[in-house]
Structure formats: structure tokens, C-alpha cells
A and B are shown apart, each in its own frame.
Chain A
């Protein structure tokens, strides 16, 4: 008995998702920027605090980040998520026919979901890395004049690495969460409707 199943291996899904991101680089860049902006605010705040701690540990005055900033970070991240959801919904709308075609060629709903989530994952990763770099630069500029710019050399490496990892994970999670609903919508498209769809 022949194996009556359709497939989409992770590496192939990855390849397809990557092709989409590269070909529609303008939109991808906007999504990455959206995540990176929120994330840079987040990392700049946390890094500033790490710098202050290090400064205090070395005998300097203990400075603190104002609590209200943490609220602003939460709001900034929420805005990023909403922006990405919106951009991905438009992306689904633009690709209705393509999704219908893929279903004709044998794609399952789960395959369509996977493709969109992989795009979200890649955008999240890129956004996390860029956001961290920008945030670190911003934090250094904020505290540097008070503590001296060489503070960055005195910070415990473990702490910056943990923060880097948490930024990347947060960015990926947010980007993926923002794409869940658009991906679900895409996967549920009826191929007949989708093929008839005119943009």
C-alpha cells in the first residue's frame, strides 16, 4: 500500500518562508523594524540598570531606572505586536491566490500555518538581534556620561549574555504570537474562494 500522505519537511518550509521574506523584503524590513524598535527600548532599559548596578558595585553612586519606564516598555512591545499582526494580515490578503494554489498542489492547512510561523520566527530573530544592538548602544549613551563609557567593559559578561538571550527569545515569541491569528486565517482559506479571489 502506497503511503498516502502529503509532506512538508521543516527544511523545505524554511526555504519557502525565507524566499518570501527575501522577495518581499520591504514588508519584512518593516516587521523587523517594528520588533527591533520595541526590543531596543526593552534592552536599553534593562542594560541601563545593569550598567548602574555595575557602577554601584565598583563603588559609584547607586542610580535607578524610573519605574514608569517599565510600563512604557510593555506598551511599546504591545504596539509592536499589533503592528506585526496588522502587517501579516495584509500579507495574507496579498497571498490569497498563492495559498489557494498551494492547497491545489497538496498543501495541508497545517503547512500554510507553518510557512507563516517560520516567517514570523525569522523576522523575530532578526528583530531581536537588531533591537539588542540598538538598545545596547542607547543604554551606553544614556549612562556613559555619568559612569564613563568604559562601564561596558566592566559589566559581567554572563549578565549581558543572559539579557541578549532573553531579548532574542522575547522578540521571537512576540513575533510568533502576533502571527498566530493571521496564520490561522491563511490556513483556513477555502481553495475555491481563494483561487477566484481578485486583489
Chain B
């Protein structure tokens, strides 16, 4: 199977200064991820997984090296272009779901379409469709606090898909879920990857997630230790 490259990291470095000392969160990472690929980022805590997640997601800027998304060096983007990239090209899924508590499931899923400038009715219709797809068609008007952890994560997945991104970035998506719910979430994500051809990059500890992926990138001390 061959992929065209959608994410390309070259000599990626990220330094943090903590209490006057430099900490190398990422120390020269080179990695290419192809379109439609499912990649797991694995490593002990402090290995740079989350930093790498933030870099690919355009949430953080590299100290050295570059991140290319669809061939565009994202350190060259201004605030508006970066917001557009986060809004349209990338869907984020977090360990603790990060739903907006004052909004209903439907409104949460529709929120990215608001920023994309989609007309309200169209955004809501699409959000409803996505929630049905993840099996929450009966829970459209529930607030996040009225949903179980697994349901909240499914809302988050639907939200990540709202603007038809090319890339789904997931940071420990099953980390706060029990085994069964975690498996359901993995199945949904895997299905999206296989059926919709979405590029899926997941930082994870979960063996089931790792097994389902095309490639596993092992990180240690801010470097790629091995890829398999």
C-alpha cells in the first residue's frame, strides 16, 4: 500500500525552559505519515507524545525543524491560516473529551461548522447525522453532564468530523474509558480510517489501539526510537 504524504516532520525540535533549564520535549523527530494511514504514537510519559500531538495539530510552534501538513509548512502560517487549518483540516479528540459543558451534544458537534462559516441549519443537520452515525441519535439535546464517558467521547468524535477534516488527531482517546467502551471507541475510529480514508494519528497506551494501527511509532526522550 502506498500513500501520498499528508504529514511530514523534519528534524522537529521543541525546547521548553523550566526553571531556567532547557528541557528537550522533542529532539529531532523525522516522520512521514501518508494519507489514510493509521499511526499510533507510543512511549512512556515524558517521551514527547503530547508535544508531538500539539505540533501536528498546529497548536504549538516548533523550536527547530518543520511540520508540513498537506505540503504546507505550518510555522509559516499566520494566526488566521492556523485557525483555518485547525478548523477545517484537523479533527481533535482528547482523553477528557473537552466538550463545551453549556452546549447540547448537537450544538457541540455543530460548533466547528460555526467557525467554518456553514449556515446554521446545514451545520445542525450535519451534526445530527454525525451523532446518528456514532449511535447517539436519541441523545441530541443532552448536555455533556447527562452523558456517560463513552457517549461523551462519541460526541467528541462526531465533533472532530464536523468539518470533514483529512486528519484525525487523538490524544489517549480511550484513556478515561473502561475496557468495553474503549473498544467501541477504537472500532469507531478504526472504521473511520478504513471506510472514509481518514488519516488517524493517535497517541496511546492502549494495546488494542496499537494492534489496530498500520504503523507504530515508538518515542523515547523526544526521539523516534523505532517504527514498526
Residues of A within 8 A of B (CB): 3-9, 12, 16, 19-20, 22-24, 97-98, 100-109, 111, 191-192, 195
Contacts and interface: CB of A to CB of B under 8 A. Distances in A.
B83 A6 contact: yes
A192 B59 contact: yes
A8 B114 contact: yes
B54 A192 contact: yes
6 contacts: A5-B80, A98-B100, A104-B57, A105-B111, A192-B54, A195-B98
A94 B129 CA distance: 31
A106 B59 contact: no
Contacts, number: 82
Given A5-B84, A105-B92, A106-B84, 15 more contacts: A3-B117, A4-B81, A4-B84, A6-B84, A6-B87, A9-B117, A19-B107, A101-B94, A101-B98, A101-B100, A102-B100, A103-B86, A104-B59, A191-B59, A192-B59
Nearest to A12: B114
B102 interface: yes
B79 interface: yes
A24 B87 CA distance: 27
Given A5-B117, A105-B112, A192-B60, A24 B84 contact: no
B101 A23 contact: yes
Contacts of B98: 97-98, 100-101, 104, 195
Contacts of A3: 117
B102 A6 contact: no
A12 B88 CA distance: 18
Contacts of A101: 94, 98-100
Interface residues of B, number: 30
A6 B80 contact: yes
A21 B60 CA distance: 31
Contacts of B94: 101, 195
A97 B101 CA distance: 11
Given A7-B117, A111-B115, A23 B102 contact: yes
A87 to B, nearest CB: 17
Interface of B: 54, 57, 59-60, 79-81, 83-84, 86-88, 92, 94, 98-103, 107, 111-112, 114-117, 120, 159, 163
A57 B94 CA distance: 70
A7 B115 CA distance: 5
Contacts of B100: 98, 101-102
A15 to B, nearest CB: 9
A108 B83 contact: yes
Nearest to B79: A108
A41 to B, nearest CB: 32
A109 B98 CA distance: 19
Contacts of A195: 59, 94, 98
Contacts of B163: 106
A12 B102 contact: no
Contacts of B107: 19
Contacts of B86: 103-106
Contacts of B103: 16, 19
B25 to A, nearest CB: 11
Contacts of B83: 6, 103, 106-108
Contacts of B120: 12
A191 B80 CA distance: 15
Nearest to A24: B102
A113 to B, nearest CB: 13
Contacts of A5: 80, 84, 117
A168 to B, nearest CB: 26
A87 B115 CA distance: 27
